[in-house]
Amino acid sequence: MRAIVYERFGDVDVLEMKELEKPIPEDYEVLIRIHATTVASEDPGMRASRGLNGFRKPKRNILGFYLAGEVEAIGRSVKRFKVGNQIYGNTGLRLLGTYVEYKCMPESAALVKKPSNISYAQAASIPNGALTSLPFLLELGYIKKGQKLLILGASGAVGTTAIQLAKLYGAEVTGVCSTSNLDLVKSLGADYVIDYTKEDFIKTENHYHVIFDAVGKSSFSRCVRSLTLNGIYLTTVPTPSNLWPIARTKLIGRKKAKFAATGLRETSKKIKDLTIMNELIEQGRFYSVIDRFYPLEQIREAHNYVEKGRKSGNVVITL
């Protein structure tokens, strides 16, 4: 089977196409023929830098967190899935490695059946945004009807999901993005859109119950004046400038800064979140945003594009 492998950290040239043996599922595993995966924002960093995936060399030499495909074979003890099921999900750090044609995963992994009204590409692009946005908005931000929410990075994979979910829960949404993405963010349901190249939201008189930094490029100290009295600042990236406010506001102060390692959540919670997404998709109330498609052979070009930090929604790899 074809696979994209990297044996050392570096630029996109370390990504190489190789032929590997097709895996065989163990008793409690399913063998998935992958039809689509994605290049998430985290992937280029794991490819280029030590620490996220090992130090001397990559601990896991195949990247990729998200997949959609068909169950081709099952272990003798598998009960959740059958051969022929169309499924999608998230590997998590432990099972990293979806830049391949076939992958074995435990039936207990964060996998669910794919709704019939979406493609494999659309399915593969759902988990990244959903498994971050749902816990951040509902478990940390307590989003509800009537609240005002500001989303930084509103046009990314997480941001485009957060807009749609927040609107479904009744929030008033303001999205912050670049000029080229204004129409996209509006089309997803944002009530207001701010072009950060022309306007700084902190210089307005508006205040928000929740500010969701979906790209980790701001800070609590910069956003705190734009929060309501009991407002919450959420960040997907625990940058050094945010670590102290996260710790301090947990103990004192009415305005809070919060972070959660959503990728490390229990598998059962991820399955529950994806089940929620399936219900919304089947009802036609949610759709995934895809920026570009690349075949597996063009994985280097896909990484180059994602690394620029300008993608809208998801970048999908087709196999």
DSSP labels, 179-204: GGGHHHHHHTT-SEEEETTT--GGGS
For residues 9 and 114, state if they share a domain. Answer: yes
For residues 238 and 295, state if they share a domain. Answer: no
| Domain total in the chain | 2
CB 5 within 8 Å of CB 97: no
Residue 180 lies in a domain: yes
CA distances in angstroms from 293 to 35, 200, 298, listed in the order given:
12, 32, 10
Domain with residue 37: its CATH number is 3.90.180.10
Residue 77 lies in a domain: yes
Q: Could you list the pLDDT tens digit for every one of the 319 residues in the chain?
A: 999 999 999 999 999 999 999 999 999 999 999 999 999 999 999 999 888 898 999 999 999 999 999 999 999 999 999 999 999 999 988 889 999 999 999 999 999 999 999 999 999 999 999 999 999 999 999 999 999 999 999 999 999 999 999 999 999 999 999 999 999 999 999 999 999 999 999 998 999 999 999 998 899 999 999 999 999 999 999 888 898 999 999 999 999 999 999 988 999 999 999 999 999 999 999 999 999 999 999 999 999 999 998 899 999 999 9
Residue 282 lies in a domain: no
Q: Tell me which residue range forms the domain holding 117.
A: 2-125+288-318
Per DSSP bridges, beta strands 2-5 and 16-19 are antiparallel
The pTM score is 0.94
For residues 256 and 133, state if they share a domain. Answer: yes
